[in-house]
């Protein structure tokens, strides 16, 4: 099946610093990737849709200036958490569909990145 | 908007059968997924239903009724390793193709 790789898997940073998380589709091209956030014992909450070559689409309540998304190529999307604070500590997961247009097909997930802000 | 409801927790015995229900309300329905997630790990794909009926895949089966906005995941011959969260997720094709997740059902399998 399709493979999505996410890096880093764990990151600890000081409050006020910025953290970048990378999401790569290894064996397929993904014009669209999705970023989710998951707090402990809660489900995945869609943060934004990352579109190759254009601006990301953010879900209601997600600050676009705080969570910067760049989809520079068909295989790479990055999420930067700017000026991170302890409340941003969470599990961030990216995903992509392996199939082309039509929106069908399963979502393949990266391994997830656990962010801890001290 | 949309709603996805599933039970918070379930407990079952090793070797038994368990059914996890999911109800949803959405516009632009484009399929329903079930994912398994172990603590601290990313979700893994279990099933995808876009037409009504039952899809069977080994010990796992998934059912969909679009008219009722209802799905279930059936796990047979339960094993201890099946203890995990099971996420019901709905794909929609309005406002872009998005997949939205329910809160998940934590399944505990006991010996």
pLDDT score for A78: 95
Nearest to A43 among B42, B48, B103 (CB): B103
Mutate one of A93, A97, A100, A103 to test the B interface: name it (highest B CB count within 10 A): A103
Band of the pLDDT at A40, cuts 50, 70, 90?
Answer: confident
Tens digit of each residue's pLDDT (9 = 90 or more) over A52-92: 888 899 999 999 999 999 988 889 999 999 999 999 999 99
Question: How big is the A-B interface in CB pairs under 8 Å?
Answer: 54
Beta bridge mates, A19: A81
DSSP string computed for A54-110: S--EEPTT--TTTEEEEEEETTEEEEEE-S--GGG-EEEEEEEESS-TTS-SPEEE-
Query: Cβ-count burial of A28 within 10 angstroms (0-12 exposed, 13-18 middle, 19+ buried)?
Result: middle
B30 vs A46, A103, A112: nearest CB:
A103
Say yes or no: B30 contacts chain A, CB-CB below 8 A.
yes
Question: Contacts of residue B103 in chain A, CB cutoff 8 Å?
Answer: 42-43
Q: Rounded mean pLDDT of B1-6? A: 83
How large is the average pLDDT for residues B42-57?
92
Using a CB–CB cutoff of 8 Å, tell me whether B45 touches chain A. Answer: yes
Contacts within 8 Å (CB) and 24+ apart, B38-41: B38/B84, B38/B85, B39/B84, B39/B85, B40/A91, B40/A114, B41/A111, B41/A112
Residue A57 Cα, gap to closest chain B Cα (Å)? 9
């Amino acid at each position: 099946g399709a493979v999505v790789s996410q890096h880093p898997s764990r990151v600890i940073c000081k409050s006020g610093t910025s953290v970048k998380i990378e999401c790569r589709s290894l064996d397929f091209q993904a014009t669209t990737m999705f970023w989710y956030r998951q707090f402990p014992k809660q489900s995945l909450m869609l943060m934004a849709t990352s579109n190759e070559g254009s601006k990301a689409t953010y879900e209601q309540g997600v600050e676009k200036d705080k969570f910067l998304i760049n989809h520079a190529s068909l295989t790479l999307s990055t999420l930067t958490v700017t000026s991170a604070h302890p409340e941003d500590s969470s599990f961030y997961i990216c995903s992509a569909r392996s199939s082309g247009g039509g929106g069908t097909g399963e979502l393949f997930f990266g391994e997830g990145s656990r962010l801890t802000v001290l | 908007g949309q709603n996805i409801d599933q039970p918070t927790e379930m407990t079952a015995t090793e070797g038994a059968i368990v059914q996890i229900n999911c109800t949803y309300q959405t516009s632009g329905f484009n399929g329903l997924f079930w994912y398994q997630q172990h603590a601290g790990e990313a979700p893994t794909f279990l099933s995808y239903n876009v037409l009504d009926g039952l899809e069977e895949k080994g010990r796992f089966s998934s059912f969909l009724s679009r008219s009722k906005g209802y799905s279930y995941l059936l796990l047979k011959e339960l094993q201890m390793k099946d203890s995990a969260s099971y996420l019901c997720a709905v794909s929609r094709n309005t406002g872009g193709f998005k997949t939205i997740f329910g809160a998940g059902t934590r399944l505990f399998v006991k010996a």
